A and B are shown apart, each in its own frame.
Chain A
Amino acid sequence: MKIDLNLLDARDLLAKKEISSHELTKTYLDNIKKGEELNCYNTVATEHALAEAEKSDLRRKEGNHKSPFDGIPIGIKDLFCTNNIRTTASSRILSNFVPTYESTVTQNCIDAGLINLGKLNCDEFAMGSTNKTSYFGSVINPWQSSQSDAKLVPGGSSGGSAAAVAADLCVASLGTDTGGSIRQPASLTGTVGLKPTYGRVSRWGIVAFASSLDQAGPITKTVEDAAVLLEIISGHDEKDSTSSIKDKENFFQNLNNSVKGIKIGIPKEFESDDLPVSTQKAWDECKQLLQSNGAEIVDISLPHTMDALPTYYIIAPAEASSNLARYDGVKYGIREEGKNLIEMYEETRSIGFGDEVKRRILIGTYVLSSGYYDAYYIKAQKVRSLIKKDFNEAFQNVDAILTPSTPSTAFAIENEPDDPVQTYLNDIFTVPVNLAGIPAISIPFANDENNLPIGLQIITNSFEEQKLLNIAKNIQDTINYSHKPNKWWTND
């Protein structure tokens, strides 16, 4: 059966009864099996998915389907707690954890009839930009360079979510984005990744990394799918105090692709000689494209852009060091016995956490320590408000901002730099958005000279996801990006 369906395709096939949810789900489970080498899934919920698919078929037969998308199988980043399905955050410390509850976001998906195929690999506790920090091993990017068959990183932390969509191991997926963890892997895998406004989507039931930055969002094959999935997962949740009280919006229904009269800002601070020629070219072409479609291109300045990364690497680890304190071997997860409480803590956390997580806990603990708190944490908060102010001022003059999503395309897993700061630079274009709490999307624009996808990022002001999606759709409809990775991992 020809597959590689997006949400709208699958919706239509199900509506026309050309395929059942069971067949669809079965096909994707087969794809997952064939794609095991990509290491996208930490846990495949085979029986659960097939049972749910049967229920969905029954609902549809009786005309009781929960939504037009009832019965479509998706993948879930292994950071969302899922009732009765193991949830590990790709960490050894939670490698045996099976929640008794369902996160608000995944519950919203269940309420729309979507089917959970399984839990997608990611960087441990969502800390990383290459997916190499996962306890379950690296995810492998389905894309390969035309120059070599070296295994490439899919980006991170939602590497499994992005790779699974790119390799068609699910129709769409859910990720989370703290500093670029949806957009950066989307960019490296030729998929669409959307980070919503902070507060648009409930954080309840998602393993926390940095609470003031974390936001769940969709990774999809098309902009339409991003609108559909965002609409399904968003909305106020009284269980999350930081959740916005704004009403759910009909992002999909209201989607159009007009950019006439829209002002697009190009921040000069994102320009760099280090940017690959092909990325610069894609960026330039996109400006021209938008201009010829009726948008106005405006040069803007976001003066504190270069302060974003150091600010992020104070705030995020500070919050993480506290958020991860609960993984102590006392209540759930793994425990390594010790002679006394302190020794049990030390043993459990020593073997339970990987190096990158430990590094960030140490950084976070340090910047919150008395004597350093003002110099680091307080100062970082001040810079954070300056970064927000930059965006606020920019949005007085423009509707949206266009930048590259990442400073480079996918690179070989073995080429990841030893210096973590070099790896952190992968998020240089995405991090300011999280600090400002605003929405952004990465969409595939072109492939580089090695046939690897280049993503571009569109940023709008808070709660302007509709505008964001419309601009993205305009670009998508104009360029008709149709590259697919050649499926080297299967004989199909």
Chain B
Amino acid sequence: MIDGWELVVGIEIHAQVKSNSKLFSSSSTNFGSGPNSQVSLVDAAMPGMLPVINKFCVEQAVRSGIGLNAKINKKSIFDRKNYFYQDLPQGYQISQFKDPIVGSGFIEISSNGQSKKIGIERLHLEQDAGKSLHDQDPNYTFVDLNRSGIALMEIVSKPDISSADEAVEYVKKVRSILRYLDTCDGNMEQGSLRADVNVSVNKPGDSFGTRCEIKNLNSFKFIHSAIIYEAKRQIRLIESGESIHQETRLYNIDSGETRSMRSKEDAHDYRYFPDPDLLPLIIEDTWIENIKKTIPELPDQKKDRLVKEYNLSDYDAGVIVSDRAISDYYEEVVKERNPKLVTTWVTSELFSVLNKKNLSISETPVSAGQLGELIDNIESGKISNRLAKDIFEEMCETGKSAGEIISVKGLSQISDQGELEKLVDEVLSANPDNVEKYKNGKDKLFGFFVGEAMKLSKGKANPKLLNEFLKEKLKI
């Protein structure tokens, strides 16, 4: 809510289906190949070419629908959405209009510590268009059709979202679910997941205001700031007595503003009609049941289990399950180890390194096995936590294992009684004044002795044993 206004947001997510080949042709979907190198006769809309549905893409859509707690429609229809553009070779996009493959569903998000259900209106399959390149020639636009025909899932939310934070949480959650299901890689920078947001504002108790759609947002940051900007723009207009025109707007990532792209009056008449080249898509119950059997544990279930099994806080569990790869990593490390220690190491030490180096979990320089070994050394008392951080840093830089670094550098903790005694004696005899003060009641100096001993041992002294020896020696 902004200054006595209510915000209403609905989101359309375009998620590229994870599949080796396109929705209606056998061309590859690899990202980053040379222009027009992954284009079949069908993708280029050569005369007489016909689409043939890729069964795997249908399976992925059904799987996604199940993950979104949605109704799977056993009969769905592909329609043609007709419009002219240079990167749309057929002159129409094959999409699903009236009868999508997936009907209504919902997901749970948590925003500001509160859990909220967001309705899903539908999910449908459609083809992506090609890409126009406007910067290759002063007079001509070039077209790359590699993307033409790649399968997209359009996931439409109900207008249940009421803040920019919720909007981001919603998209994050959908992305996380799709990644768990392995139906979309969710890579927003490469455009495999992008969002159109519909924003309107109204006074509490009033009906919904006129909405504007902001197209093609490909980062959480842009989604957030575009909604905030747009809401404020609409409030400013209404408060100055003007009205909102339904329109499509574009978000400028440099200025952080939205500007009008086309008004409702200029909207295309897409002349949807069922594609006569494709029969209605009929899905058997048994097929759906078989797909259900392949659905992995999804983030919400996994979170509940982690809380129960490892006694994690709600927050930590939430962070860990937000990404399937992170949770897989975590679970590999935590096996038969101290969950609290593992959680700290994953969520603070590992994350800070990944953030600093701008790496994803799949690119981590320290494998789950390597981190596990490091933690084993801490748990066995061979190294201190402090030392472990240094070792971890080196592991990240060199890729070496903890054991290797410990043995090469002789970093293993001093737990030998004789050595520790020698250390303590050295420290005490070098600081007779402080020993005196301590004995006269200045308890706080205990930390000073520990620090000196540690320094002398280059951090290798076993802190627990060191404490015991010091206490013993300082006994009055």
Contact = CB atoms under 8 A, between A and B. Distances in A.
B80 A322 contact: yes
Contacts of A81: 46-48
Interface string A212-242: 1000000000000000000000000011111
A80 B47 CA distance: 9
Interface stretch (B50-58, B223-231, B335-343): B50-58
A377 B98 CA distance: 15
Most B CB contacts (10 A, CB to CB) among A103, A242, A325, A345 go to A325
Interface of A: 80-81, 87, 89, 94, 97, 99-101, 103, 203-208, 210-212, 238-242, 318-319, 321-322, 324-326, 328, 330-332, 341, 345, 365, 368-370, 373, 377
B271 interface: yes
Contacts of A242: 276-279
At the interface, is chain A mostly helix, strand, loop or mixed? loop
A442 B379 CA distance: 90
A368 B271 contact: yes
B52 A326 contact: no
B269 A326 contact: no
20 contacts: A80-B48, A81-B47, A97-B47, A99-B47, A99-B48, A204-B48, A204-B50, A207-B47, A208-B47, A241-B53, A242-B277, A242-B279, A322-B91, A322-B92, A325-B84, A326-B91, A331-B44, A331-B45, A341-B86, A369-B269
At the interface, is chain B mostly helix, strand, loop or mixed? loop
B90 interface: yes
Most A CB contacts (10 A, CB to CB) among B89, B272, B277 go to B277
A241 B51 CA distance: 7
B352 interface: no
Contact of A206 (B44, B48, B92, B143): B48
A240 B48 CA distance: 10
Contacts of A324: 91
A328 B44 CA distance: 12
Contact of A332 (B46, B91, B141, B278): B46
A238 B272 CA distance: 26
Given A212-B276, A368-B273, A99 B46 contact: yes
A319 B82 CA distance: 11
B261 interface: no
Nearest to B270: A370
A240 B45 CA distance: 14
Interface string B246-277: 00000000000000000000000101110011
B269 A101 contact: no
B41 interface: yes
Given A241-B278, A325-B82, A330-B143, A318 B48 contact: no
Given A204-B48, A205-B49, A240-B50, 17 more contacts: A99-B46, A100-B41, A208-B48, A212-B276, A241-B52, A321-B82, A322-B80, A325-B90, A326-B91, A328-B84, A331-B44, A332-B46, A341-B85, A341-B86, A370-B269, A373-B272, A377-B273
